[in-house]
Structures are given as C-alpha cells and as structure tokens.
Chain A
Amino acid sequence: MADYKLMKGNEAIAEAAIRCGCDAYFGYPITPQSEVLETLMARMPWEETGMVVLQAESEVAAINMVYGGAGCGKKVMTSSSSPGISLKQEGITYIAGAELPCLIVNVVRGGPGLGTIQPAQSDYFQAVKGGGHGDYKLIVLAPASVQEMYDFVDLGFELAFKYRNPAMILSDGVIGQMMEKVQLGPYKPRMTDEEIIAKYGSWATTGKTPDRPRNIITSLDLEASRQEQFNLKLQKKYREIEEKEVRFEKIACDDAEYLFVAYGSSSRICQKAVDLAREKGIKVGLLRPITLFPYPTKAIQEMIGQLKGILTVEMSAGQMVEDVRLAVEGKVKVEHYGRMGGMIPSPNDVVAALEEKIIKG
C-alpha cells in the first residue's frame, strides 16, 4: 500500500532528503523555511541512515559546507529563503565553477532587503540568470505542490549528479508552509564509500590512493586561455541541459486563444483563473514551466500560431515575463500581472488582468 502523509512543503523536503539517501544537510534558520532543519533535527536521520545534519553558523558557512561535502562525491543539500540565498551566492558560484553536484532549496519571501516573511517569486532572476559572479547556470525546478516539493528532491539530485551541476528547488512561502497529502517514496540507501569511489573516484576527494593522481576540487585557473576553454565547456553543458531536460505542464491549451504562463504557487492561482475565464467564454490555457532553467522556450514557441495574447502571472514586478518575451520574439502580445511584497493575486484579479491588459488592451 502506498505511504501517504499530510505534511507541510518544508517537511516534505526534509522527509524526501532522508528517503532519497541524502548524505548531509547544512542549513541556517530563516522564515519561511526553518521547518526543513527543524524536521531533520527532530527525525534524527543520523541514527536511521547515517545522514549528517548540521546547523551552521551562517548561510555562508552552510553553503561552503555543501561545497566541501559535494567535493567528496556525496549527496549534500541546503535550504534557505531569499536573504539567506543572497549570502549563499558566493558558495554557489564556487560550486558551479568546480562543477559539483548539490541541491539548494530557496523558499522565497518578499524583498528586497529584509523585506517580509510572506511569499514572493522575486528571486527568479537570481535563480535562473546566475546570482553569483561569472557565467554559470543552475538547474532550477519550480514545484507547485507539496508532492512536488517531495519529488523534486530526488529529481534535483539526479539532475545535479548527471550534469555535475548545482540544482535548485525554487519554491516560495506558500508552498513551503501549506499542508497537502504526499505520497512518500521508498527509502533509497545512501551510497557507501566504496560505491562513491567506484562511481566518482575519478574526481571526488575521497583520499588519494596509489592508483590515481591526486584529486583537486577547485575553480581556479590563472591561465586565461584555459579558463576560456573551461567556460566554453560549461556553456556546452548548459546547452545540453537545455536540449534534454526541459519540463513543463500544459493545462487546457488545445483550443486556447490566450495563455497564462506561470510557475509555482502562481500557477495554482492561474489554474483556478482558467476555470473562471472559461465560464465567461474566454478560451484560455495555462503553461506551467517546471524547469525554469532550462526554460520551456520551445513549448511556448510552438503555441504562438494559435494565440492572441499571453499573460504571465508572477509574484514579482515581472521577471519571468522577459523569458516569455524572448521566446515569442514579438510575434504575440505579452503582458505581466503580479503582486509584490508578499501579496498574493486572486484568481479573479488574474482574469480581470487578462481582460484588461490582453483582450481589451
């Protein structure tokens, strides 16, 4: 029989980490995601699976612990919310530069600065366009339910290891805090040291043995031409990810003349807005990007012929809308509707915005 449980989004992250064989979690408290660390501490996974859980002294330390653990070829993760993720950017660019896999969860709150503890989606640029210095990309997954918070931990690790690249779950305070039924997966065993050496011994710092040269985890290369070659290699990897790993969901799109594009909790609101608009006779569908990098650019382009207009709905001043505009290249009208600072749009607001900005305008 399937194992179901009612849980918060943040708790689902913690439970999934334990069950998918995560080796270590390093974090620092910040609302609205502290339940991840709290749940892990209460569950004592070190007794059950041997997973290391540590409350670091800061987000800076936490992400550098992730960097160290990831260098050992281990499954290591952290979670935080917006101001904490800003602090983690230093470590994230080092991890991307050293091409290490790891999982970072951002349960976004309103900013800028200390902002509010209420939900927002205003860290989109930071998540998908870089965030730290240098040319790098994260693999970014955007869950829209507590079930997906659970499922994307395993998926995030899988993609991170496949491409030796940091992955991020970009969630927000709504999904982190709401409770839903979750189907729990079976326990995956943690990899043994021998398995890690067999699988990642080629690069992980597991202790130098006579049969191989020393392994060095670094992002430093003082020689400009080699550094350029390395950057070209990174860019090639990102193009491959764009080709193979795009994920999205389409709802009521077959006959749609208008389209909402929204991710995460905004997509939940848009789902209701689709129903309300269709009651009024407006043929609107919803495209929900699940991966924000790689972005479902082609999926949007394929719909251009049938559309009279697109409304992106995000809890921000309009960040993802830029990627939609890039995708449609001016062939269809694209507008943005959103609330900021922790305010959440209602489905009626979204329908009104569609009528105002797209249908009438």
Chain B
Amino acid sequence: MDLKDIIKEENLVYSKTKLLTDNIMHYCPGCTHGVVHKVVAEVIDEMNIQEKSIGVAPVGCAVLAYNYIDIDWHEAAHGRAPAVATAISRLYPNKYVFTYQGDGDLASIGTAEIMHACNRGENIVVIFINNGIYGMTGGQMAPTSLLDMPTSTTPYGRKVELNGYPLKITELIAQLPGTCYVTRQAGHTPAAVRKLKKAIRKAFENVGQKKGTSFIEVVSTCNSGWKLSPVKANEWMVEHMFPYYPLGDLKDE
C-alpha cells in the first residue's frame, strides 16, 4: 500500500517540502541541524525564492548542508562564510543570500568576518547554530561552551582561569548598527520550531526589503559531543543553556 492510499489529499496536513533533497542526512539522530535545515527549506519554498536563494555553507557538521537543500550553494572556509556571502550579495543585490554557521565557525575562527559583515549591514541572513561545542571535530571546547562544561579539550570542565568566559556573540552583534533583526531561538519543541520558522521567514523577508543583516542564533544540542541521549540533551539545554543564552528577540527594527 502506498502512503497516498492511506493519507488522502483532503486529510493531508503536513508533508516534506520539495526543497529538501532525498539524500540521507549525515547528522546524528536528534541533532538540531536537521530541524533547522527543514525550517530553512520550508521558508525558501513557501516564499517561492528557490531561484533567488544562494546559501553559504560553513566548516563544521553542516559542511554538507548543500547536499540537503535544493538551491545553489557555496562552501566557505572555516569562519569565512560572511565574507563569501558579502561578495555574492553585493554582486547579486536581488538574491537572497544566507550563511549557515556553527559556533566554532562563527564565534571563534570567523569572529572578524561576522562582526564586519554585520557592521557593514550586508543584506544577508545569518543562521547561527550554537550547540556550545565543536561537533564535527569530536567535541572540543567552543567559545560558547558553558563554564564547567566538560569537552574533549576541557576534560575537567571549562574553567575561567584556563579558558575565559563563554562568549555571548549574539549580544555583541545586536549592538552593531548594520543589523536590523537579531534574535535567539531554539528548536526543541514544536512550539519552538514554529517560532524559529517565523524568525527565519522574517529574516528572509528583511533581505527582500534590503534592510541589512538579520541574525538568528539557534540554541542547539549536540548530543554526540555532549555525550547525552537526544532527550537528555534537550533537557540539559533547557536547564543549562537557556539561562545563559536566553531566548527571544534582541533587536527588531
């Protein structure tokens, strides 16, 4: 029996967007990357801007993002996605250019690039996945790792004396006059995903209106790096990440 025989057209309330390819995602089960990919693909599809969207993929677990969302993509060097996106958006002012970056990518090696692209007010969307760890390279400390959080390079937990403080990069970015919309969202519950989607949609609409940089932090889990089950990882995120990285809009102009 085919799925179509079970679910009749009139009963269909939800289906996979055609912009998500049929490739099997390499992400660990429970990883937030998959949720955010889905939301980005839905927004581009619903806004009908597939032909006008160009994504810039990071170095990190999302390095293969281009395998999953059916638009043109440019893979950038570690941290440099905002510079790559700057050029694409300047050369194609009517396209929807966005970067998709992890915290190692955006808040560590690429701090200069993200600060300056946001400060110039490049007309782009930045999607920033903050899972507080380097997922791809095996769970090392990120600038956003919480204090006392164990990682493979802070096996006894992150200590201020050794590693400094967790970086609230989104708060810094909200200060920059080039940004029009800065928000912090999550994707751990259906309600959170709905809010996240609204935020991403608004960010893409801002590009259409040439308002400047829209920056969306998604507080995320890395169950593999955190060494927790997907369910436990979500609980840990709510308990530990949200107090330090509170959800909500930081700026909406």
Contacts and interface: CB of A to CB of B under 8 A. Distances in A.
Interface in B114-135: 115-116
Interface in B99-118: 112-113, 115-116
Nearest to B21: A214
B241 interface: no
A58 B112 contact: yes
Contacts of B186: none
Interface stretch (A217-225, A272-280, A349-357): A217-225
A91, A193, A205, A209 — which one has the most chain B CB atoms within 10 A of its CB? A205
A217 B87 CA distance: 14
A60 interface: yes
B95 interface: yes
B51 interface: yes
Nearest to A58: B112
Interface string A90-126: 1100100010000000000000000000000000000
B80 interface: yes
A214 B83 contact: no
Contacts of B87: 24, 26, 52, 64-69, 72, 76
Interface stretch (B71-79, B138-146, B191-199, B209-217): B71-79
A207 B52 contact: yes
A75 to B, nearest CB: 10
B82 to A, nearest CB: 8
B88 interface: yes
Given A205-B88, A207-B54, A217 B73 contact: yes
A129 interface: no
Interface residues of A, number: 39
A8 interface: no
Contacts of A52: 87, 90-91
B54 A56 contact: no
Contacts of B74: 67-68, 71, 205, 216-218
B154 interface: no
A54 interface: yes
A190 B26 CA distance: 41
Interface residues of B, number: 33
Given A65-B86, A69-B88, A205 B72 contact: yes
B242 interface: no
Interface string B37-77: 00000000000001111101100000110100011111111
A216 B83 contact: no
Contacts of A91: 77, 80
B84 A64 contact: yes
A61 B83 contact: yes
Contact of B85 (A68, A90, A206): A68
A72 B80 CA distance: 16
Contacts of B71: 207-208, 214
B118 to A, nearest CB: 11
A57 interface: yes
A54 B86 contact: yes
Contacts of B56: 68
Interface in A193-218: 193, 205-210, 214-218
Interface in A7-43: 23-24, 26
Given A61-B83, A67-B84, A74 B91 contact: yes
A238 to B, nearest CB: 22
A217 B75 contact: yes
A61 B92 contact: no
Contacts of B75: 98, 216-220
Nearest to A53: B90
A205 B73 contact: yes
A129 B95 CA distance: 38
A23 B71 CA distance: 23
A68 B85 CA distance: 6
A68 B72 contact: no
Interface of B: 50-54, 56-57, 63-64, 66, 70-77, 80, 83-88, 90-92, 95, 112-113, 115-116
Given A56-B116, A61-B113, A207-B52, 17 more contacts: A52-B91, A61-B83, A64-B77, A64-B113, A67-B74, A67-B80, A67-B83, A67-B87, A68-B56, A69-B88, A72-B92, A76-B87, A91-B77, A205-B73, A208-B71, A214-B71, A218-B73
23 contacts: A23-B91, A24-B90, A54-B90, A61-B83, A61-B112, A64-B77, A64-B87, A65-B84, A65-B86, A67-B84, A68-B83, A68-B88, A69-B88, A71-B88, A72-B87, A94-B77, A205-B74, A207-B95, A215-B73, A216-B72, A217-B74, A218-B57, A220-B64
